[in-house]
Structure 1
């Protein structure tokens, strides 16, 4: 038995060309020229049941525009779901979020870039001359050598930071509990790099005590006239007898604080 489909039925499938392929029991169909989504389409069925369709109008007006229109209606970025839900997804490389750069193995050398080198006797502004650039391989150690050369002090509030691990070189904490003072060749205590001094606490000596006086009262003396004068040399002709000329002691003799206002940090000194 021959089954035929009226072309009018196909014309009713507006903007849904896939429904043609859903007709599974096609055995024979007349070659017809049909209109679908403003495209001219030729539908041919063979005796084996295979259905083929081709565009017979101009390619620029049919298949290309049709495909472009379909693609234009698709979302370019997924807005739902997870990456693990995708099929055929590539394996992503893991990125370290902890540790130090020096802990990495097989780290390639960074590319060569032009860095400045100090050259003496270059011409001044306005004079003829040449500025030279020298190429070097840039490494993390090179940056440290530029910004923190040997002799540099580095201060941080991170108690766990260790430049020996993070940057390389040799760093020591040789100035614990001390403040830094700029060199001054006119002051004996500050005229040499690395010289130490000062005290956290200090006990005054006799020579450091400010000059002062104490009042003294007399006890167990005889006579009725008052005494005047200095250093126990009364200006009187009468004889006086006294048995106590000591002043009561005051003060505790303890050290006094010798510290300025301060903030505690961790300080490293690069020695190599």
Structure 2
């Protein structure tokens, strides 16, 4: 039986992942599972993994690395209990030779023994803290996906990976701009503080009403457009690299982990054995 967004907002993270794995929910994950890290996803053959890891290290704002699988092992055991990267994301994009070829609900049938999965922190994580502080987020209140744009900000290349940074946008009341910036800076593992505020044209965005990914969102009077580095950036780099196969999340459709949202360094903290209390 299908589950609605309203249903999932009342569930804990384990129940949400179970609904996704069972095919009952295939939509965006904004506003779900407060207090834990949500992650973007990139899965690619092992021979490209070191170059991609360097790309993440050189571009920590759009690519804050939170977890890496063992080669060929789809279980993301450093991110929580029983997380299967083949089934636990609501929707996946499949790229072949740098081109988007398909969007699917699981990847069990195309999983290969040479694949490595990378999890990258997501700005959905700090949205809970914003809302707790009284900041209204239009896309969550209206059950849409945050708008995302290709900017003119260059990333630092590594091997075949390069391209422009993707940014997500939220319209923020001008009198809350300092609050929003300060809160998001507390989450460096989830893109941290904004990369730009104000005029979208300054970072190469021509039409704020026409995002390349996600859904349009209004910019009411008295609000400022605020842009954060976005985990869709690797998808642009993957397009440029032209890998024979690569799998990512569908933008807005994230992996929900067991990692606390306030973890200072998720990739170090969660390399410890699973006796550290993921299920507490």
| Bigger relative contact order, structure 1 or 2 (CA pairs below 8 A, ≥6 apart) | 2
TM over 0.5: no
Q: Higher strand proportion, which one? A: 2
Give the TM bin, normalised by the shorter chain: under 0.3
* Structure that is richer in helix per residue: 2
Structure having the higher Rg: 1
TM-score (structure 1 length as normaliser): 0.18
**TM-score, normalising length: structure 2:** 0.18
